Structure 1
Amino acid sequence: MSRSWSPRPRRRYYPPPPRSLWRRLLDYALTIIVLGLLILLAARLDRFETRKAEGAAIVNDGDSLTLGTERIRMRGIDAPEYQQICRKDGADYACGRLARQALVRLISGNPVTCSGWQRDRYGRLLGDCKAGGKDLNRAQVEAGWAIAYGDYETEQAVARAGKAGIWAGTFDEPQDWRESHHEGPAERRHGTLASLGDALCEFFRFR
């Protein structure tokens, strides 16, 4: 016995009701807010633009130099001040001058390139510096002529164990020496973690 077949009834299409005025105003407001956030994000990212300086270096001391008109403070390390005195084998010696000489030897007359986006309280660029394929920040710590100041803790541990540079004797940490010689309050550390904190502060700074 055959069964009769009948087509299914078609559903009628009903267009969606028009959006209310308040709904349209809300959509416009959300669009404006999203565009505003995108503009704000673009403006904030400009603050983290990496600055780069390169050229022949004038070495000021063991962790700072000048490239053209740009003064550089090497990021993540702290070397003895130029006039600082340390002690080894029962005698004083000019560790600050030796730290500067060590940096001069590392550069060996090669062009220096430094890059970074932060500045210290004196307006110097906090830079990661290279010359002749060498990471100067890291090399100064490895040679024992700068201490870790936010980065390079592993390199410092090796230098200290090997009694390299200032670790061969006794010395005041550079920040303590500066404070005792009335050269301003202790400078805060400026390694990778400090850079992340600065980035967050800078992003939410409204000026």
Structure 2
Amino acid sequence: MQPTLQRAMPAWANGRRNPLPRRRPLRWRSWLVILAGLGIIAYLLSLPDAPFSLDGPSLTGAVERVSDGDTIDIGGQRIRLPGIDAPEWNQTCGTADGGNWECGKAAAGRMRELTRNRTLSCRPEGHDRYGRLLAVCRDGRLDIAEAMVADGYAIATSRYLAAQTEARRAKRGIWQGRFDTPADWRRHKAEGAAGEAGNPSRFERFISWLWALLSS
């Protein structure tokens, strides 16, 4: 007679549950790999795009960010519009009745209106001392810098004098009252344009894209 084989009783038969397997904590090497990966990602996001070649074709694209009334970002390039100087972001100007208005913020707002939903073609002319691309940007026949001068939101420095004469005669924008030129205002406030130096990082471009998406 063969012996009867006894099967082991399952844990549930006696009211006990199988214990859950313990999760093994991440070892320090795993944490090191994760931190290294995050560091690489952060480094790549902090890198700006390479300076735009002056020998190639015009830079074409939509405006990714407006810094102020004369500085915009297109295709990872920070562009300073030559021939004009717009009020700085925190600058105020005088009104016709002797009051004040935020002409710097208004100039930036006007630039956003002029460039919204437009594809600009920018002809490079060089780089300024801050590494920004100097380029004349147009949408067809519309010269964005000339439009800013004509609307009274920037002064002409080396061109667009006819547009400035008309804006001044009509007392548009900054010409409605007394104001300091942007260059004089910067000297008085000891503020330069170094805060917008060079090209935007990929992180800045992502934040600008996200802000535009949420604002639309």
Q: Shorter-chain TM-score category?
A: 0.5 to 0.7
* Number of positions where the alignment pairs a residue of Structure 1 with one of Structure 2: 139
Structure 2 stretches of 5 or more lacking a match?
1-52, 194-216
CA contact under 8 A between 2:78 and 2:133: conserved in structure 1? Answer: yes
Q: Which amino acid aligns with 1:120?
A: D
Counterpart mapping for 1:49-198 below 5 A? 49=55, 52-57=58-63, 58-88=65-95, 89-131=97-139, 133-184=141-192
Aligned-partner Cα distance in 1 for 2:104–2:143: 20
Structure 1 stretches of 5 or more lacking a match?
1-46, 186-207
Aligned-partner Cα distance in 1 for 2:159–2:125: 16
CA RMSD of aligned residues (A): 1.9
Aligned-partner Cα distance in 2 for 1:157–1:62: 19
Cα deviation 1:151-193 (Å, max 9, x = unaligned) = 11111111100001110111100001111111249xxxxxxxx
Q: Which amino acid aligns with 2:86?
A: A
TM-score (norm 2): 0.60
Q: Which amino acid aligns with 1:160?
A: R
CA contact under 8 A between 1:80 and 1:95: conserved in structure 2? Answer: yes
CA contact under 8 A between 1:51 and 1:117: conserved in structure 2? Answer: no
| Identical-residue share of aligned pairs (%) | 42
Q: Report the secondary structure of 1:118's partner residue.
A: strand
Change over 3 Å in CA distance of 1:132–1:97 after alignment to 2? farther
Task: State the match for 1:32 in structure 2.
Answer: none
Cα deviation 1:109-158 (Å, max 9, x = unaligned) = 21222121311110111110113641101111111101001111111111
TM-score (norm 1): 0.63
Q: CA deviation at 1:52?
A: 2.7
